[in-house]
A and B are shown apart, each in its own frame.
Chain A
Amino acid sequence: MAASQNSASRPRVSKSVLLYSAFLLVPLYWLVVLSLQPNKASKSALSLLPSPLSLENFAFVFGSPDWVAGYVNAVTYVALNVVITLLVALPAAYAFARFRFLGSEQALFFSLLFRLMPPAIIMIPVVQMFSAAGLIDTHLAVALAHCLFTVPVSIWILEGFVSAVPIELEETAAIDGHSPAAIFFRILLPQIRPGLFVTAFFCFIFSWVELILANALTTVDAKPIGVIMKVVASPVGSVHIGIASAVSVLMLIPGAALAWALRRHLARGFSMGRVT
């Protein structure tokens, strides 16, 4: 829109953007190369094409039930986190966007403060609390612990989106005799759909990549793939480049799919909300 009008005469290619994209993509490409060649080859020489081409690393991962379960565990608690976060953040965001109430500014600030708190600070008490509640090693425990970080950002993003919807829309609907619930679900929710996508993206950004709490809260049944991967990737242990790369590639796939699916919503979504 603005961009096309602004530079319609010029060739629409920026060298800086291409160079920056290459800077981002080349390491990822190399990671794929490493995952597709035997560990020995990765340890002996630098190559830009998998040589020899081999699927043994992926075969190992898919042949190990623990590793497959770890992958499923991570997907499960991230999905759970997104659902819980949206359920609790939406009404709160609506309240902050539409009303002033006792302590509303302070509450918003405190929610922000929690986003700034390193997970390391609350790790031990969170583990003690969840074990007292008998929730250790469950997907729910990790999803709830991650909510501490995803809920504040979500409230914040959604508040922007709700504020951008004219309040007159709701007032007119109310005069027309729609119930508050009908107004919320049939009128407001469709208006802020891109906001829901952007919020889900931000929950994913945190929950899928976080490992400190996920590691501390799980032992066997809910252990995510990232923690299992430490065995072959951590500088403390013996590194297996091939398997670590294969797991890494598998862990990049959901993110890549999400980035592709949301490519139109991400930037537009933000510019619609009041975040900008």
Chain B
Amino acid sequence: MSARLRQWNGAWALVLPAAVVMAVGGFAPLMTAINYSFQQSFSGDRYFWTGLDWYSAILHDGAFWQTMGRTALFSILTLVLQFGLGLFIARKLFHKQGRPELFIAILGLPLLAPWIVVGFLWRHMMDAEVGLLGGLLSVFQVTVDLNSVLWAWVTILAMDLWHWTSLVVVLCYAGYLSIPPAYFHAAKIDGASGWAVFRHIELPKLRNVLLVAGLLRLADSLMIYIEPFMITRGGPHVATTFISQELIKTATQEFNLGEAGAISVVYLLLIVPIAWLLFKAMRAGHGG
């Protein structure tokens, strides 16, 4: 397909409106944030050049790396849980379930729930006395305590599982629909096991859709803010403080635009290689 694409630099004219929106809405603010990272700000309108001071301060700051580590750990755990469950449900939905479009509508519900609603709902659900889950667990002598690190993490992971697994299911289900039925017939005639069908037919065919889902889930899990804030306010202590909350705290409560800028730049430098690898993998899939 891509071999047929015509070389025409005039196509930039078609990209221009989008490019302008992105440049004004994204590139300019990003440059401003990068600019701040080399400066010290006073009273909101006076700036002094400080060079790389913020960077060396951050890179030697154990708390910063712990926040990054927590964010990465959260991302890895949610991705593993959601891709495991999501693939499983998509497979069942495709092979075993009648009226799939009805379930697609149900699956879409949590995706379209405002984040503040999700956070509020899950914090209240875990209330040990009157919460739906917390109250139920109390019956079995299990007391939910959001002031414990373990319960705070379990709650946020369960909440994210509820909130986002559907995205993986919907995308993977779409992937399943695009597999030619002949593949399954051939496998049936050969008497292939369910696992063999999954491993050698479904998984390779779902490669691209899994990459897309992976990219979206990675992006959103790394920038999670409102939901954990609604549940634990980042606590106990800083046990559920992730990078976005750290950024917002630094920029709006401590009014430290320089440090916030430097954190942003370090974060982006870490994410660019991952994005590049995913992008390359996706484009390679397109060519074939």
Contact = CB atoms under 8 A, between A and B. Distances in A.
Interface of A: 1-3, 5-7, 10, 12-14, 16-17, 20-21, 23-28, 30-31, 34, 42-46, 84, 87-89, 91-92, 94-96, 98-102, 104-105, 107-126, 128-129, 144-145, 147-148, 151-153, 155, 163, 167, 204-205, 208-212, 226, 229-230, 233-236, 241, 244, 248, 251-252, 254-256, 258-260, 262-264, 266-271, 274-276
A84 B114 contact: no
Contacts of A204: 112
Given A17-B89, A107-B15, A144-B21, A24 B162 contact: yes
A274 B116 contact: no
Contacts of B105: 259-260, 263
27 contacts: A2-B176, A12-B96, A17-B92, A17-B96, A20-B85, A21-B107, A28-B109, A91-B17, A92-B18, A99-B5, A99-B6, A101-B9, A108-B279, A115-B216, A118-B243, A118-B247, A121-B33, A121-B268, A125-B28, A208-B112, A212-B244, A212-B248, A235-B232, A248-B114, A259-B106, A266-B108, A271-B178
A251 B15 CA distance: 34
A212 B226 CA distance: 8
A53 to B, nearest CB: 18
Given A124-B33, A259-B108, A27 B125 contact: yes
B109 A205 contact: no
A235 B233 contact: yes
A276 B178 contact: yes
Contacts of B95: 3, 6-7, 14
A31 B100 CA distance: 25
Contact of B112 (A26, A167, A236, A256): A256
B93 interface: yes
B264 A121 contact: yes
Interface residues of B, number: 119
Nearest to A94: B14
Contact of A114 (B26, B230, B248): B26
Given A20-B89, A116-B219, A262 B108 contact: yes
A201 to B, nearest CB: 8
Nearest to B159: A27
Contact of A255 (B109, B212, B233): B109
B181 A5 contact: yes
Given A95-B12, A101-B11, 18 more contacts: A2-B179, A3-B100, A5-B181, A91-B15, A100-B6, A116-B219, A116-B271, A123-B252, A124-B260, A125-B32, A151-B18, A205-B111, A229-B120, A234-B230, A252-B112, A259-B109, A263-B102, A275-B208
Interface of B: 1-2, 4-12, 14-15, 17-22, 24-26, 28-30, 32-33, 36, 85, 88-89, 92-117, 120-125, 129-132, 135-136, 162, 165-166, 170-171, 173-181, 184-185, 206, 208-209, 212, 215-216, 218-219, 222-223, 225-226, 230-233, 243-244, 247-248, 251-252, 257, 260, 264, 267-268, 271-272, 275-276, 279, 283, 286
B121 A235 contact: no
B113 A255 contact: yes
Nearest to B188: A6
A99 B7 contact: yes
Interface of A is mostly: helix
Nearest to B183: A2
A113 B233 contact: no
Contacts of A145: 25
Contact of B21 (A16, A84, A99, A275): A84
Given A100-B5, A251-B117, A252-B109, A275 B25 contact: no
A276 B174 contact: yes
Closest 3 CB pairs of A and B: A255-B112, A270-B174, A12-B98
Contacts of B268: 117, 121
Interface centre among A43, A109, A254 (most CB of B within 10 A): A109
A97 B223 CA distance: 30
A230 B98 contact: no
Nearest to A273: B174
